Amino acid sequence: MADVSKNEKKTYYITTPIYYPSGNMHIGHSYTTVAADAEARYRRLKGYDVMFLTGTDEHGQKIQRKAEEKGVTPKEYVDEIVANTKALWKLMNVTNDQFIRTTDDFHIKAVQKIFKRLYDQGDIYKSEYEGWYCTPCESFWTETQLVDGKCPDCGRPVERTREECYYFRLSKYQQRIIDHIESHPDFIQPVSRKNEMLNNFLRPGLEDLCVSRTSFDWGIPVTFDEKHVVYVWVDALSNYITALGYASEDDSRFKKYWPAQVHLVGKEIVRFHTIIWPALLMALDLPLPEQVYGHGWLLIDGGKMSKSKGNVVDPRILCAKYGCDAIRYFLLREVPFGSDGVFTNEALIGRINADLANDLGNLVSRSVSMQLKYFGGVQSAEKTFADIDNEISRLFREIYDNVQVQMDALQFPSALVEIWRGVSRLNKFIDETAPWVLAKSADTDPAAKARLAGVMYTLLEGIRIVSVLIEPFMPETPAKIREQLGILGKDELTVWESASKWGVYPDGTEVKKGEALFPRIDPAKELEELEKLSAAQKADAAAGKPEEKKNADEAAKAEDGANLITIDDFAKVHMKVARVLEAGRVEGSDKLLILKLDAGGEIRQVVSGIAKQYSPEEMKDKKVILITNLKPAVLRGVTSEGMILAATKGKKLVLVTVDGDIPEGADIS
Ligand code: MSP
C-alpha cells in the first residue's frame, strides 16, 4: 500500500469492456466506466503511470441489421453512436487515456495478424458449425446449453445455423486455465464468480469455439479466406492488447503496460474474460491479466436495465438535473461492488439529500459560516486542542489507510463509507463542542476564544482531507470545497498524500462563502418529475422513436425543467386514416413489410417493421393511422413515405386503428 516511488513509476493498466454501439447508453453502462474512472483517478493520485482504456465493439450481425433497417452503412450507423458515447464519457468526467474502436485500422490489422498466427500454429482450424445462435447476444449455443430452447444468457429465441467456420482450440487450454485460476486466487474476483467459472464451465469441459462467420460481412475479414469475418470475441477481446500497439510496428506501449492489472467487466461477460481470453493469450504466449473483476448489475423493475424493456435511465438527464458528481457518487455508493442492486428514483434522491446535501454540504457551509462569523474568516494561530481533536485526527489517519485498502480492492462503496465516517464525525463534533456557546464568551475569555479557534481548525482540516479523499469519485466537488477553504491550487494541501497528514491547514488562511455544494431536493416534487420523464421515455420507445434522438430530446427537456409539449408541438404532426391497398415483404428482411396506402386519394408507400406480427394478406384493407408529414426514409433500399402507428409491449405489437367506420383520408386530431 506504500505510495509509488517517484523514481520507478509503476504502471497500472485498467480497462472497461468495449461497448456495443446500440443506441444511447443507459445508467447501467455508466456503472462500469465510472467505477473504472474512480480507480484510474485514485491510482494517478497515488503516482502510478495509469493507462485507462475504454471503447466500442462495433462489428457483428446485429449492427449490420440495424444499419440496413436505417438505410445507412454500418460505419455510418456506428459513427453517430460512438460520437454520443464519447460525449457521454466527457460529460461524466471520465478520464480514459484511450478510446479504441474495433473499426480502427490498427486494430483490424492486428486482429488479422493474430488470427493468421493462430491458424498457422494450428490453434485455429477450419470445420463446420451446426447449432443455435442468439443474435442479440451474438453467441452460439449447443443444444444442451439452451434453457427451455432459448438463449441461456438473455432468454430470447435462438436461430438454427449451419455454416463453415474456423474453430479455436479452446478445449486444449482447459487444464491450463483451471491451473491458473487455482494458483492465482485473485485472478477472478469476487470469489463467487471464480467458483461459478470452475464448476459450471471449466470442470464440465470446454468445447472448441467457432471464431469466424460467413453469413454476414460486417466484421474483420480473415486474410487467407475472405468470405469469413473474424467473429465477435476474438475481435473484441483483442482490443485490450491491440490498443497498446500489439502486433503493430510500435509495440512499446504494449511492452510497458501489459499485462493489465484489471479488466473491470459486468458479471455476464466474466466467462469470456476468464476462459476465452486467457486461452487466446496462452495461445499467443502472452502473460494473463492480473485480475478480472466481475461487478453486478444495476436493476430496474426487478430486471437488468435494457432499452427494449423501456426502463432506460439516461445518465445525461440525471447529470443535467443533479450534477455529474452526485450521479457518480450514487452509482459507486449505493450498491456493494460485485452484487446486483436496484436503481430507484427514491434511492437516488434520498442519497443526494442525506449524504451530499445534509452531511457533506451542510458540514462545509456551517463550518465556513462559523469561521466567517467568529474570526472574520481567518484561521487564528491562537488555538488550543482537546482530547476530542486528537481522537478526530487519529480517526482521519485511520480513514486514509482504510480508503486505500478499499480502493486497492476495488471496493468503492466501502471506501465512500469510510470517508463518510469522517464527515459524520465532524458533524457530531460540531454538536459536541457547540461553537456558538464558546463564541458567547470568546470576547471576554481568551481561553474560550483559543478553544473556538481550535474547534474551527479541526473542522477545516477534516474537511480539507475529505476534499482529497473524494477526488476519485467526485471530480468537480473538491475544487469547490477548496475554494471555500481558501486552499485552491495549494498542492501541498491537496495532493493525495496530504490526506495522511493532520495539521497542515495554515494559520492565517481565509475562507470564502460559496454556493451550496448540493442543493436539497424536494423529494415529492422531484419524484413526480422523474416519473413523468420516465413515462415519456417509455412512450417514445413504444412509438419507435429513434433512441439517439429520443435521449437528446429528453436531455434538452430535462434542462428546461419540464417534459411537456405544447398543443403547437402536437399540431406539427399530421395524421390521417389510411387504407392498405397492397402489402408485400421487403426482400431480405423478415421484419419489414412494404405497404401501399390510400390516404384519401393520395397514395403512399410505407415500409413498416410489422412483418413478424402481420402477414401481407392480413394487412389488405386494414385501416391504419398514417403520419403523413414525416421525412421520407430509405429502409433496405425501399423508400418509406411516412409511418403507421402501432402499440408495443415487449415483443407484442398491434396496429393502432380506428374504432368505427370512417373513410380513408379522415384527419386525426
Ligand atoms: N461488447 C461487449 C463487451 C466486449 S469486451 C471485450 C459488451 N458490451 S455491452 O455494451 O453490452 O456491455 C458493456 C458493459 O456494460 C458490460 O460490462 C455490462 O455488464 C455493463 N452493463 C450493461 N448494463 C448494465 C447494468 N444494467 N448494470 C451494470 N452494468 C451493466 O458486453
Give per-residue pLDDT as tens, 301-314.
666 665 444 344 78
Question: Lowest-confidence range among 295-304, 356-365, 396-405, 541-550?
Answer: 541-550
Ligand 1 atom 28, closest CA: 297
Place of cell 485552491: 488
Question: How far apart (Å, rounded) are the C-alpha atoms in residues 145 and 153?
Answer: 10
Question: How far apart (Å, rounded) are the C-alpha atoms in residues 508 and 460?
Answer: 12
Among 61, 134, 154, 269, name the best residue to mutate to test ligand 1's pocket (greatest count of ligand atoms within 8 A of Cβ). Answer: 269
Distances (CA, A) of 415 to 47, 338, 412, 634: 19, 14, 5, 52
State what percent of residues in the chain have pLDDT above 70. Answer: 91
Q: Give 343 or 542, the one with higher predicted confidence.
A: 343
Q: Give 39 or 134, the one with higher predicted confidence.
A: 39
Helix ranges (DSSP H) in 92-144: 105-120
Residue 604: strand pairing partners: 597
Print burial letters for 625-653: b (CB count within 10 Å at least 16), e (below 16): bbbbeeeebebbebebbbbbbbebeeeeb
pLDDT at 134: 83
Q: Give 632 or 594, the one with higher predicted confidence.
A: 594
Of 155, 129, 153, 123, the C-alpha closest to 139 is 153
- State the chain's mean pLDDT as an integer: 90
Ligand 1 atom 6, closest CA: 237
Query: Residue 518: which pLDDT band, with cuts at 50, 70 and 90?
Result: very high
Burial grade of 189 (CB within 10 A; 0-12, 13-18, 19 or more): buried
Angle CA 625–626–628, to nearest 5: 150
Place of cell 456503472: 31
All three cell numbers of 385: 486542542
Query: What's the 119 CA to ligand 1 centre distance in angstroms?
Result: 30
- Residues 38-43 have a mean pLDDT of 98
pLDDT at 15: 98
pLDDT at 72: 94
Angle CA 477–480–483, to nearest 5: 150
Q: Is the pLDDT reported for residue 545 higher than 60?
A: no
446-469 and 362-375 helices, crossing angle to 10°: 150
As a whole number of angstroms, the longest Cα–Cα distance in the chain is 97
pLDDT at 308: 44
Q: Give 48 or 607, the one with higher predicted confidence.
A: 48
Question: How far apart (Å, rounded) are the C-alpha atoms in residues 168 and 537?
Answer: 43
Question: How far apart (Å, rounded) are the C-alpha atoms in residues 93 and 37?
Answer: 8
Query: Which range is most confident: 25-39, 194-208, 244-258, 608-622?
Result: 244-258
435-442 and 446-469 helices, crossing angle to 10°: 140
Of 2, 25, 111, the C-alpha closest to 331 is 25
**632 preceded by cis ω (within 30°)?**
no
Question: Lowest-confidence range among 62-71, 333-342, 583-592?
Answer: 583-592
Question: Lowest-confidence range among 101-110, 264-273, 540-549, 647-656?
Answer: 540-549
Within 10 angstroms of residue 51's Cβ, the number of other Cβ atoms is 23
27-45 and 324-334 helices, crossing angle to 10°: 90
Of 626, 620, 611, the C-alpha closest to 658 is 626
- Residues 506-517 have a mean pLDDT of 97
- List residues near ligand 1 (CB under 6 A): 17-20, 28-29, 31-32, 57, 236-237, 239, 265-266, 268-269, 297-298, 304-305
324-334 and 412-433 helices, crossing angle to 10°: 110
User: For the chain, how far is it from start to end, CA to CA, in angstroms?
Assistant: 68
Residues in the chain: 669
pLDDT at 565: 58
pLDDT at 309: 45
Query: Residue 1: which pLDDT band, with cuts at 50, 70 and 90?
Result: very low
Q: Is the pLDDT reported for residue 403 higher than 70?
A: yes
Q: Give 112 or 552, the one with higher predicted confidence.
A: 112
What are the pLDDT digits (tens) for 562-612?
345 566 678 778 899 999 999 999 887 788 899 999 998 888 999 898 988
Within 10 angstroms of residue 549's Cβ, the number of other Cβ atoms is 11
Ligand 1 atom 7, closest CA: 19
Q: Give 391 or 317, the one with higher predicted confidence.
A: 391
Among 19, 153, 311, name the best residue to mutate to test ligand 1's pocket (greatest count of ligand atoms within 8 A of Cβ). Answer: 19
All three cell numbers of 655: 396496429
Which domains are seen in the chain, by residue range? 6-104+237-309 (3.40.50.620), 109-233 (2.170.220.10), 350-500 (1.10.730.10), 573-668 (2.40.50.140)
Q: How many CA atoms within 13 Å lie on the side-chain side of 393?
A: 16
Among 31, 82, 292, 295, name the best residue to mutate to test ligand 1's pocket (greatest count of ligand atoms within 8 A of Cβ). Answer: 31
What are the pLDDT digits (tens) for 420-478?
999 999 999 999 999 999 999 999 999 999 999 999 999 999 999 999 999 999 999 99
Of 26, 367, 61, 96, the C-alpha closest to 218 is 61
